[in-house]
């Protein structure tokens, strides 16, 4: 009984066809075929179904993770919960991945590490000073969802909150 979806089966068949061809396709076509198969398998519903069946039969998350070549936390992130839970987690992950990775340079105040360097202390010491009220800090929320802790030193007029 076949368990792969039509798209996964088609990608696998295409790759097998190219592999057994008399003259193999050019390297970029091979890369595209392999990538198409990988993408199809990443979204393969048979994987989720197999994981759920393994768990129902008494397998642990550690065993599932080992079989999938993942850590237990990664396996749970991919497959634990309802279909809606999994979809929401994956969508949130895609949104995070789409965000810019660079820190904006026009934020007010100093980063925790910059404030620590200026004060000659560790970042942990800056957080401690903030929690004790000897330093002022606030979280700056950006429109794309990123958040940055910013520190305002009292002796620097350019950095006042």
The model's pLDDT over 10-62, given as tens digits with 9 standing for 90+, comes to 888 888 888 888 887 888 988 988 888 888 887 778 888 999 999 999 999 99
Domain boundary among 75, 98, 121: 98
How does DSSP classify residue 54? H
CB atoms within 10 A of CB 101: 6
**Token code pair at residue 76:** 């749970």
In a domain, 107, yes or no: no
Confidence of residue 99 (pLDDT cuts 50, 70, 90): low
In a domain, 105, yes or no: no
Give CA separation, 3 vs 9, 47, 55, 138, in Å. 9, 9, 18, 52
93 pLDDT above the threshold of 60: yes
My answer on whether 59 and 131 are in the same domain is no
My answer on whether 66 and 141 are in the same domain is no
- Give which of 66, 140, 84 is closest to 110, Cα–Cα: 140
My answer on whether 82 and 53 are in the same domain is yes
Greatest Cα pair distance, the chain, in angstroms, is 76
Number of domains in the chain: 2
My answer on whether 34 and 86 are in the same domain is yes
My answer on whether 89 and 13 are in the same domain is yes
Q: What is residue 20's predicted lDDT score, i.e. its pLDDT?
A: 84
My answer on whether 15 and 69 are in the same domain is yes
pTM for this one? 0.50
Give the CA radius of gyration of the chain: 25
Identify the residue whose tokens are 């999994």: 86
What is the DSSP annotation of 70-101? S-HHHHHHHHSS-HHHHHHHHHHHHHHHHS--
**CB-CB contact of 148 with 107 (8 Å):** yes
**What residues make up the domain containing 141?**
112-159
- Give which of 32, 31, 34, 43 is closest to 7, Cα–Cα: 43
């Amino acid at each position: 009984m076949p368990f792969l979806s039509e798209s996964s089966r088609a990608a696998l068949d295409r790759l097998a066809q190219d592999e057994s061809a008399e003259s193999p396709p050019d390297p970029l076509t091979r890369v595209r075929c392999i990538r198409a198969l990988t993408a199809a398998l990443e979204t393969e519903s048979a994987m989720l179904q197999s994981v759920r069946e393994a768990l129902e039969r008494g397998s642990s998350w550690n065993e599932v993770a080992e079989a999938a070549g993942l850590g237990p936390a990664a396996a749970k992130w991919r497959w634990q919960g309802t279909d809606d839970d999994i979809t929401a987690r994956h969508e949130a992950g895609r949104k995070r991945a789409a965000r810019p990775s660079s820190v904006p340079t026009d934020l007010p105040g100093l980063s925790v590490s910059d404030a620590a360097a200026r004060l000659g202390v560790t970042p942990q010491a800056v957080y401690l000073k903030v929690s004790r009220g000897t330093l002022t800090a606030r979280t700056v929320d950006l429109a794309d969802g990123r958040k940055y802790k910013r520190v305002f030193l009292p002796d620097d007029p350019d950095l006042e909150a």
